[in-house]
């Protein structure tokens, strides 16, 4: 299976799509990567003359890969026969708890690994970690959201 077909089901587009590739996905979790382009708009203001990727953007990247891609996969595998493959999923973020360890600078590639805690009654909760190219832990936490097709 080509995991990247999941990305086309996401309801995001540039400049707010933070997923380049899904390298692995199953019912228990997923792994994906994203490279933050050096010319991303938020570097102009965060911070003045010292560009660092904002924590909210790292959180968003983790939510898009770890929660939304996994949720899309889970929903589509549950209802394989009944849904139009072009159908977009409906999502709402419900909670995040995140600890940050080291900064991510412009142009860096990050890897996000998520594990499902539960997916019940349309609520998906995952524990999520982000690593930089040296496999150092960037941030770690839990993210939950409501999702349906």
Which residues contact another protein by CB under 8 A?
92, 94-95, 118, 120-123, 144-146
Q: State in angstroms the smallest separation of the CB of 71 from another protein.
A: 13
Cβ distance 35 to 109 under 8 Å? yes
Of 8 and 95, nearer to another protein (C-beta) is 95
Q: State in angstroms the smallest separation of the CB of 149 from another protein.
A: 15
Of 52 and 93, nearer to another protein (C-beta) is 93
Q: State in angstroms the smallest separation of the CB of 70 from another protein.
A: 16
Q: Which residues contact 66 (CB under 8 A, 6 or more apart)?
A: 30, 32, 112, 113, 114, 126, 128, 143
Q: Is residue 18 classed as helix, strand or coil in its secondary structure?
A: coil
Q: State in angstroms the smallest separation of the CB of 63 from another protein.
A: 14
CA 39 to mean position of chain CA atoms = 20
Of 66 and 145, nearer to another protein (C-beta) is 145
Give the C-alpha separation, 10 to 120, whole Å.
20
Of 146 and 149, nearer to another protein (C-beta) is 146
Give the C-alpha separation, 80 to 50, whole Å.
47
């Amino acid at each position: 299976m080509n995991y990247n077909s999941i990305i086309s089901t996401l309801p995001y587009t540039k400049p707010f799509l933070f997923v380049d590739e899904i390298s692995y996905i199953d019912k228990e979790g997923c792994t994906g990567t994203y490279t933050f382009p050096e010319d991303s708009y938020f570097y102009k203001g965060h911070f003045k003359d010292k560009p660092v990727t904002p924590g909210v953007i790292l959180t968003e990247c983790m939510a898009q890969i770890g929660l939304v891609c996994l949720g899309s996969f889970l929903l589509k595998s549950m209802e394989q026969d009944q849904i139009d493959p072009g159908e977009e999923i409906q999502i709402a973020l419900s909670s995040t708890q995140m600890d940050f360890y080291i900064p991510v600078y412009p142009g860096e590639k990050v890897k996000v690994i998520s594990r499902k805690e539960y997916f019940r009654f349309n609520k998906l909760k995952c524990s999520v970690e982000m690593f930089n190219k040296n496999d150092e832990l960037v941030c770690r936490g839990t993210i939950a959201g409501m999702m349906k097709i």
